[in-house]
Amino acid sequence: MTHDVAGWAARAAELDAADPLAPYRDAFISSDGVVAYLDGNSLGRPLRATRDRLSGFVDGPWGDRLIRAWDEEWMAAPTELGDTVARVCLGAAPGQTVVADSTTVLLYKLVRAAVDAQPARIEIVVDTDNFPTDRFVVEGVAAERGLELSWITPEPHATVTPDQVRAAVSDRTALVLLSHVAYRSGQIADLPAITEIAHDAGALVLWDLCHSVGSVELALDEHRVDLAVGCTYKYLNGGPGAPAFAYLAGRHHDRVRQPIQGWMGAADVFAMAERYQPAAGVRQLISGTPPIVGMLPMRDMLALIDEVGMSAVRRKSVALTAFAVEIADALLAPYDVRLASPRDPSVRGSHVTLDHPDLRQVTAELWERGVIPDFRPPHGLRIGLSPLSTSFAEVAAGLSVVAELLSRPRA
C-alpha cells in the first residue's frame, strides 16, 4: 500500500470517472467550504429538487387549496408515502408501512404493541450496544408493564449474532429488539437467521432500520419480519427532524394495538366519537396530525433511489466503504488507527468506524478544515458514505486530512 496522498487522489479521480452513479451527485445542493461531507449517515444532503418542492408547497397545496388539501391528498399521505418507502427500500408489499412521528415515538408504539399482544410473556431481549433511544424506550416500557429485560452483550466492534439470540430467547420472550446495522461499527446483523430464531421461540422481532434504509437492500416480507422502524433524515435525505416510518406486517394487523390513541388513528377520523375505535390496517399506528411538511423532502430522494435501484445504491456503498478501508490501512494505520468495522463488505453497512484515542480532538479540527465526519464515544470516528451524494474524491481528501492531523505532535 502506498502512503502517497497524491496517488490516492488520482485513484479517487479514476474511480469517480468510472462510477455510473457519479452524475447523480449534481442532484444535491453543494456546501461552500466543505471539502468532504462524510456524515451522510447522520444527516443527508438536501436535493436541489427539494428547494422547488418546498416553495411549490407553500404556493400550491397549502396556499391555494388550504384546508381542502386534507381531503384531496394530505389524509392519505402517511400511508401513501409509507407504501413508497416499502416498495423502494424495504422489500415490502403495500398496506404495511406508515410515515408518522419520530423514531423514538414509533419505537415506543411498536414495543408496547408487541408486548401487550403477548401478555403471558414477560421478557424483552435487547443488546447493550444498541442505540440509546432503543435501550431507553425498552427500559421505560419494561418499567410500565412490569417486564424483565434480557441483555445481550455483543463482542467489541461487532453486532449481535444468531447464536447469542438463540441463547437469550425462550418461552418467556415477548419481543426481540435489535438494530439491523450497528450504529457504532456498521456491521450488518443476520436479519433472516435472527428473525427465524426468535419466531421458533414464539417471540416477535422489531428491527431498527435507521442505518439500513436507503443504503442496504432489505426484504422484510420475504424474511417474515414482524415490526420495523426507521428514520428518514439519513440515507433518505428527509432533512432535520423528518418523520420516521413504521412497518407492521399485515398478519399482525388484527393482533396488535398501539398505545397512543389519537384521533388520526381512529376508524372514522371526523366522527368525533365518544370512544376510540382503531382504524383498520397499518393506519392504526397514526396518533396525531401527520407531519405533512416534514414528509416533502424525502419524496425527492425516494424518487431518485427508485430511478437508480437499491441494488445499484448498495454496489456504490460497498465500493465507497472499501475505498475508505484501503486508505485507512495505508494512511492511518501507521498512526495506530484501528478499523472498528467489518472488513467483509457483505456484512458492512454504509459507514466505516475508525478508532484512535485522539480522534475526538481530531474530529473538531476536521470540522474547522471543512471535513465533516462524526464522532461516537469512546474514540470512534465514523465515516458515513451516502452512496448517491458522496464521491470517491471526498473520501480520499477527507481521510488525507485525518492523516495530516494525526501526523502532528499532540499534547
Catalytic residues: 131, 208, 233-234, 382
* Beta strands, E only, 118-211: 123-127, 148-152, 173-179, 204-208
- Please tell me the distance from the alpha carbon of residue 31 to that of residue 48, in angstroms, as a whole number: 12
Angle CA 239–95–46, to nearest 5? 15
371 bridge partner residues: 36
Pull the grid cell for residue 224: 417474515
C-alpha cell at 102: 419520530
Q: Give the strands of the sheet with 374-376, arranged side by side.
A: 338-339, 351-355, 380-384, 374-376
Q: Is 318 helix (H, G, I), strand (E, B) or coil?
A: helix
Whole-number Å distance between alpha carbons of 286 and 278: 10
Q: CB of 160 within 8 A of CB of 166?
A: no
- Cell 428491527 sits at which residue? 207
**Are the C-beta atoms of residues 197 and 165 closer than 8 Å to each other?**
yes
Question: Which uninterrupted H or E stretch holds 351?
Answer: strand 351-355
Q: What whole-number distance in Å separates Cα of residue 235 and Cα of residue 85?
A: 12
Per-residue 3-state assignment (H helix, E strand, C coil) for 189-256? CCHHHHHHHHHHCCCEEEEECCCCCCCCCCCCCCCCCCEEEECCCCCCCCCCCCCCEEEECHHHCCCC
88-123 as b/e: b if 16+ CB within 10 A = bbbbbeebbbbbbbbbbbbbbbbbbbbbebbeebeb
Amino acid letter, residue 269: V
In the numeric block, the cell 494505520 is attached to 333
Do the Cβ atoms of 225 and 205 come closer than 8 Å?
yes
